[in-house]
Amino acid sequence: MTSSWHYRKAGAPAGQESGPLSWDQLSTLAQSGELAPDDLVRGPGYEDPLKAGRVPGLYQTSAQPGARGPYPGMGPSAVSGPASLAGWHGWIGALIALAIIGAGAGVYFGVLWDRDGSAQSASAGVATVASDTGPTTSSASTSTSTAQVITPTSAVWADAAPAGTVPSARRGHCMAYDPATGKVILFGGYDGASVFGDTWAYDPVTNTWTGLEPVGSLPPARQAGTMIYDETAGKMMLFGGWDLSRGLNDTWEYDPVTNTWAEIVPAGGSPPARWGHAMAYDLGTKSTVVSGGYNGTVCLDDTWLYDRVTNTWAGGTDPGSPPARRSHAMAYDPAGAGWTITFAGWDGEALYDSTWSYDSYGVSWADLDPSGDTPPAHTSYALAYDPVAGDIIMFGGWDGESALAETWVFDSTDISWSKVDTPGATPSARYSHAMAYADQTDAMIVFGGWDGAACLDDTWVLTPSR
């Protein structure tokens, strides 16, 4: 293993490397902009070159390389994404062994959920900067640059029962949180008779919904579309859906500051029309990822990336993609290896129970095969990332016979699911609902859905004890 760092500019031949450099020198180049995120680097734990943007801590002013999870410096397999299943099996075994050792020593970051759903405290191990080699581990009591330690004791659901007017009962709507205004934006949906084209905002601080009535052009009414918050543009992005007569493949953006919608006309065209697809914003590549869906005839197994800078969609079907499916969801997880995670879904006949990761840098999928208990096969659930805990939360869904009311958490650092046993009241079983994380109140917000008999118009809040 090399004890120093080397880099080369994107597109340069392998023989045109610069180095050797210390970690501090490499970090200085990154901070100054001389080392771009797409340039290739190699060094301790990264023997195979990878993009600089994938090296944890390199572009942070208080750099803590390797601090994406409880195991600093896991190496290229943990950071560069899943190149192959064969590569996964080697480091997953090592990861499990480290987890066992770490549990005994009590050196975990973040939230660790027992299999019975209770939350365990996190303590001790933190990553610091070593001037020559990058990642090292030191005691939290002696380090002056520590990662935030989260120590929740439980997660509690509460019926928000907002005052005033609320959106009408619906399913198949989409929601995303806008950090600039501190509000959750809702668009569209279906009540069993009509599709909606309305836009709403939920304020988690005042616990109120507001019908926004945007000015100017509006997206056509639809259900089963997807919407994400694009951190690059500071706007919501809407793609696809079903208007009860045809699938859609239009792209729109909503600006919460000006309360306006605007259609985006991508150069070179758009992905084929679809609904029931999944979409997430990849902060690492600053691109929007779309996966699968239904085109009115068959389920799809393609993957598309939208680049806002070039205003282009690119993608198609990859041999390593998950089987064709619809009514699944995705969430980007920067706390792990920078993957987009998806679970389950169905193909119109069979339900899936597999967990997959997508690496936008390597443009590749991998079946994660989580250890331990996993959620039952189901579809039409809601999924959202909790940035404080560094976990992905999933709620509800349909198992082929009935609606579900289970809450699960996925930890990408040890590739595992855990069912959360939330005390007290819980939302009624439902599917085709929407969920988003609101950082102002550190809570998950759930609205609406279908309970198997009727559409719902309730608002629920899941609040962890940190």
- Residue pLDDT, tens place only, 267-309: 999 999 999 999 999 988 999 999 999 999 999 999 999 999 9
CA angle 38, 44, 48 (to 5 degrees): 50
CB 227 within 8 A of CB 176: yes
CB 464 within 8 A of CB 155: yes
Distance between CA atoms of 252 and 265, rounded to whole angstroms? 9
Which tokens is 259 given?
């309360």
Look at the block and give the residue holding tokens 């994660």: 368
Q: By CB neighbour count within 10 A (0-12 exposed, 13-18 middle, 19+ buried), where does 10 fall?
A: exposed
- Residue pLDDT, tens place only, 225-272: 999 999 989 999 999 999 999 999 999 999 999 999 999 999 999 999
CB 200 within 8 A of CB 210: yes
Which tokens is 200 given?
């709403």
Beta-carbon contacts of residue 285 (< 8 Å; ≥ 6 apart): 53, 305, 360, 361
Helix (H) or strand (E) holding 172: none
Confidence of residue 133 (pLDDT cuts 50, 70, 90): very low
The whole-model pTM stands at: 0.70
Q: Domain ranges in the chain?
A: 20-139, 155-464
Would you tell me which CATH number, out of the four given (2.120.10.80, 3.90.1150.10, 3.40.50.970, 3.40.630.30), belongs to the domain 155-464? 2.120.10.80
